[in-house]
């Protein structure tokens, strides 16, 4: 047995499962080994519209345990890392796992990562006190940390575990308080020169005078918070604990003002999708967040509107992973970042 194999057995990465058959020439029976996917683990976390989710996965990318906790926004970076650390510790304790077995964690947050990947810029709802956030997080949690944009991770998750598995050119769209997209071209994830590719919330769609701090025009007007505020100004009943699209679709059945706003919202989504599709020529567009809650009739209306303006309508589908997309993306990135093992069957 080679020294490398002995080392892997000692580290728990592989284990003996029995003896094989001797060859026809006789000789010693070979020792059979199998890969131990639970010798080590990676973590993933994502903050999305006031909900923080933390998960732990084995080296095959299987989610072992996921916890979630509501977060009062706005929030500071110190508060985020304290909650992530507490939730991760609770998970590993419940499975009697040592923190030494955790190779690292990928955390998805709204905003644009710096070119070095060590900090966050333009992050609505989160106050970042340090330019080297990764160093601060690693010191607190005690394991390696990677921070990425939340929609980037959702895109990777859907590409590797959801609808995108069968496609090489995909656009993933998310509408929540912020609006963003992730872009896969020829099987490669596109980040851009400043890691800001896909930041469609900054498109000039809607009232350009209505721009919130650290948010773009598009998301200021048609993100969840902007829509709910607009509904309130129009005299429509508003429940801030529920998604805007749910309320608009229900109210539009009996209120012409709500119907007009819903049509305006669909028009804004049409413009964004047409702009992206005409430039990037995807074969698949995935709708998530508020977009994924469209009733069938409005989804078909959106598709017809888009088809009017582009030469070839790509496949347009609602997310199949839902809120788990970001977690799967975080785990995929963690497996590629922290270890040579894992299910790296497609390139990032």
- Of 116-120, 172-176, 206-210, 278-282, the poorest mean pLDDT is in 116-120
The hierarchical CATH code for the domain 41-150+330-346 is: 3.30.420.40
Average pLDDT, integer, range 30-49: 86
Confidence class of residue 32 from pLDDT cuts 50, 70 and 90?
confident
Percent of the chain with pLDDT over 90: 74
Residue 343 has pLDDT above 90, yes or no: no
Residue 157 tokens, joined: 């998750």
DSSP-derived letter for residue 2 is -
Cβ atoms of 146 and 333 within 8 Å: the answer is: yes
Identify which of 31-40, 130-139, 262-271 has the greatest average pLDDT. 262-271
Residues 75-115 pLDDT 10s: 888 899 999 999 999 999 999 999 999 999 999 999 898 87
Q: What angle do CA 333, 132, 195 make, to 5 degrees?
A: 50
Residue 206's CB is within 10 A of a number of other CB atoms, namely 22
Query: Average pLDDT, whole number, for the chain?
Result: 90
For residue 74, say if its preceding peptide bond is cis, omega within 30 degrees of 0. Answer: yes
Question: Rounded distance, CA 184 to CA 284, Å?
Answer: 10
Residue among 35, 40, 23, 66 at smallest CA distance from 330: 66
Cβ atoms of 187 and 347 within 8 Å: the answer is: yes
* Class of the CATH-defined domain 163-320: alpha beta
Residue 190 tokens, joined: 């596109």
Question: Rounded distance, CA 232 to CA 227, Å?
Answer: 9
Question: Rounded distance, CA 156 to CA 29, Å?
Answer: 44
**Full-model pTM:** 0.89
Residues 41-63 pLDDT 10s: 999 999 998 899 999 999 999 99
Question: Rounded distance, CA 335 to CA 329, Å?
Answer: 10
Average pLDDT, integer, range 173-182: 97
Q: Which residues pair with 43 in a beta bridge?
A: 56, 105
Q: Which sign, positive or negative, has the C-alpha torsion 88, 89, 95, 99?
A: positive
Confidence class of residue 8 from pLDDT cuts 50, 70 and 90?
low
Task: Give the pLDDT of residue 319.
Answer: 97
User: Which part of the chain has CATH 3.30.420.40?
Assistant: 41-150+330-346, 163-320
Cβ atoms of 156 and 106 within 8 Å: the answer is: no
Residue 223 has pLDDT above 50, yes or no: yes
Residue 341 has pLDDT above 50, yes or no: no
Residue 327's CB is within 10 A of a number of other CB atoms, namely 27
Average pLDDT, integer, range 279-303: 97
Range list of β-strands (E), 186-296: 188-189, 284-289
Residues 121-174 pLDDT 10s: 888 778 877 678 899 999 999 999 999 999 999 999 999 999 999 999 999 999
Average pLDDT, integer, range 319-342: 88
Task: Give the pLDDT of residue 35.
Answer: 73
Question: Rounded distance, CA 212 to CA 226, Å?
Answer: 9
Task: Give the pLDDT of residue 285.
Answer: 99
**Sequence-distant (≥ 6) Cβ neighbours of residue 256 within 8 angstroms:** none
């Amino acid at each position: 047995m080679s020294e490398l194999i002995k080392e892997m057995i000692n580290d728990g990465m592989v284990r003996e499962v029995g003896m094989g058959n001797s060859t026809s020439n006789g000789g010693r029976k070979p020792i059979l080994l199998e890969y131990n996917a639970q010798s080590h683990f990676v973590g993933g976390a994502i903050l999305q519209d006031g909900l923080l989710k933390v998960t732990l996965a084995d080296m095959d990318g299987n989610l072992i345990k996921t916890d979630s906790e509501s977060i009062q926004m706005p929030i500071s970076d110190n508060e985020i890392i304290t909650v992530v650390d507490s939730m991760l510790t609770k998970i590993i304790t419940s499975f009697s796992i040592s923190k030494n077995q955790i190779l690292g964690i990928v955390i998805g947050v709204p905003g644009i990562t710096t070119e070095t990947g060590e900090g966050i810029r333009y992050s609505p709802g989160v106050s970042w006190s340090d330019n080297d956030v990764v160093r601060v997080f690693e010191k607190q949690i005690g394991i390696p940390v990677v921070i990425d944009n939340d929609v980037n991770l959702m895109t990777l998750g859907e590409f590797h575990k959801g609808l995108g598995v069968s496609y090489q050119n995909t656009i993933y769209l998310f509408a929540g308080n912020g609006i963003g997209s992730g872009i896969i071209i020829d099987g490669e994830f596109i980040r851009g020169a400043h890691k800001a590719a896909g930041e469609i919330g900054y498109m000039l769609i809607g009232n350009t005078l209505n721009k919130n701090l650290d948010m773009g025009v598009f998301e200021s007007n048609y993100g969840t918070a902007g829509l709910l505020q607009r509904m309130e100004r129009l005299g429509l009943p508003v429940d801030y604990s529920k998604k805007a699209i749910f309320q608009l679709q229900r109210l539009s059945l009996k209120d012409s003002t709500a119907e007009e706003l819903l049509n305006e919202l669909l028009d804004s989504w049409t413009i964004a999708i047409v702009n992206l599709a005409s430039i990037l020529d995807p074969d698949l567009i995935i709708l998530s967040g508020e977009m994924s809650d469209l009733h069938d009739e409005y989804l078909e209306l959106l598709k017809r509107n888009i088809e009017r303006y582009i030469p070839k309508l790509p496949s347009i589908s609602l997310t199949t992973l839902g809120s788990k997309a970001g977690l799967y993306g975080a785990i995929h990135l963690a497996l590629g970042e922290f270890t040579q093992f894992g299910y790296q069957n497609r390139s990032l």
